[in-house]
């Protein structure tokens, strides 16, 4: 089978915005289309890329009990926030090359340019869909799955760290929950340092927690989940301890999580939260990598049954 190319899994057509557009317009477009990044085009030429995270950095503080206001800072334009001259790939580039670029430079999306013209975008979600499809094909071909004699998966916990890879991790968990009929809990752990950083930006502690809940709900909706049937849980503490505690509280039969993008594929578990969970979890843990390797093969860890502490 030939090596996969960028054109095989890129998203097209792609939504774009101009550099002189106000930031609130970019936010509205991303929210309406359920996307997290927009290539910036001027006179049919790619000049930058702006992301949801870029826009949220200018979100004004909100008092407790109030809903976040639309981001409409006067005079703030897309060109003020965008990353200029972003890295790009071509449609016929090897998919492994694109994945390595995303891994090396810790970026969540690459505009796809052909002959100087923007023709699509490749995101970490696109790469993880390749992984999910490859896993489904492997299972259909007879790869070992959960032992029916040990009981089906009834309750699942997905650990959401809100990193760039979270889109794909949540997407995988939602699909797996739908396939198995398992009840799903989406969990995020934050630290006191996270709260202190938010307060330095003028964000109240309870508003910070509510924003985390909203971000998780947004990811779930993007993945096609009915949020009324998903439990969203948030706790302050060390991530490994809190993930394990949340899994125990939920009675989880399976934990789904991703490796942090900063670790890199060559240091998948060393010193990571994933390693701590794998070592101490009382149930199987599925760890998804930050990117995938050539030919649609997963470059990561197989579902692992971790011994209890």
What are the structural domains, with CATH classification, of the chain?
A: 6-123 (3.10.580.10), 144-305 (3.40.50.620)
Q: What is the pTM of this model?
A: 0.51
What is the distance between the alpha carbons of residues 172 and 195, in angstroms, rounded to a whole number? 29
pLDDT for position 19: 96
Residue ranges of alpha helices (H) inside 106-204 are: 124-140, 166-180, 192-200
- Residues 59/31, Cβ–Cβ less than 8 Å: no
Phi/psi of residue 42, nearest 5 degrees: -130, 120
R_g of the chain computed on alpha carbons = 20
pLDDT of residue 289: 65
Look at residues 108, 95, 9, 99 and name the one whose alpha carbon lies nearest to residue 291. 99
d(CA 309, CA 301): 20
Q: What is the pLDDT, as a whole number, of residue 295?
A: 28
- Contacts of residues 144-150 at CB distance under 8 Å and 24 or more positions apart, as own/partner, are none
Say which DSSP state 11 is in.
Answer: B
- How far is it, in rounded angstroms, from Cα 207 to Cα 67? 9
Please answer whether residues 300 and 269 qualify as being in contact, where contact means their C-beta atoms are separated by less than 8 angstroms.
no
Considering only CA atoms, which of 38, 164, 26 is closest in space to residue 105?
Answer: 164
Q: What is the pLDDT of residue 237?
A: 92
Q: How many Å separate Cα 268 from the centre of its chain?
A: 17
Average pLDDT for runs of 10 along the chain of length 309: 83 95 92 90 94 78 51 76 95 91 86 94 84 66 46 86 84 88 94 87 87 92 88 94 94 85 38 79 80 31 31
Rounded CA gap, 126 and 299, in Å?
A: 15
* Alpha-helix runs per DSSP H in 11-94: 23-33, 52-56, 78-81
């Amino acid at each position: 089978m030939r090596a996969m190319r960028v054109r095989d899994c890129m998203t097209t057509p792609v939504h774009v915005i101009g550099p002189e557009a106000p930031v609130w317009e970019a936010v509205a477009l991303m929210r309406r289309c359920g996307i997290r990044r927009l290539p910036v085009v001027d006179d049919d030429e790619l000049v930058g890329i702006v992301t949801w995270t870029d826009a949220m950095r200018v979100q004004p503080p909100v008092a407790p009990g109030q809903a976040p206001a639309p981001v409409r800072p006067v005079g703030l334009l897309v060109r003020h926030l965008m990353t200029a001259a972003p890295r790009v790939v071509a449609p016929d580039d090897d998919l492994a090359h694109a994945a390595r670029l995303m891994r090396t430079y810790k970026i969540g999306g690459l505009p796809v340019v052909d002959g100087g013209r923007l023709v699509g975008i490749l995101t970490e979600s696109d790469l993880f869909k390749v992984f999910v499809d490859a896993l489904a094909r492997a299972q259909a071909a007879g790869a070992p799955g959960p032992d029916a004699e040990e009981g089906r998966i009834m309750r699942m916990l997905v650990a959401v760290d809100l990193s760039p890879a979270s889109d794909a991790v949540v997407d995988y968990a939602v699909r797996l929950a739908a396939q198995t009929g398992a009840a799903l809990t989406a969990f995020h752990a934050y630290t006191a340092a996270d709260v202190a950083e938010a307060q330095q930006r003028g964000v109240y502690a309870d508003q910070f927690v509510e924003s985390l809940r909203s971000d998780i709900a947004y990811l779930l909706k993007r993945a096609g989940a009915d949020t009324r049937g998903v439990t969203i849980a948030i706790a302050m503490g060390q991530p490994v301890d809190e993930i394990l505690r949340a899994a125990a509280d939920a009675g989880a039969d399976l934990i789904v999580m991703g490796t942090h993008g900063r670790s890199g594929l060559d240091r998948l578990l060393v010193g990571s939260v994933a390693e701590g969970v794998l070592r101490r979890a009382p149930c199987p843990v599925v760890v998804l990598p930050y990117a995938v390797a050539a030919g649609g093969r997963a470059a990561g860890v197989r579902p692992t049954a971790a011994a209890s502490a």
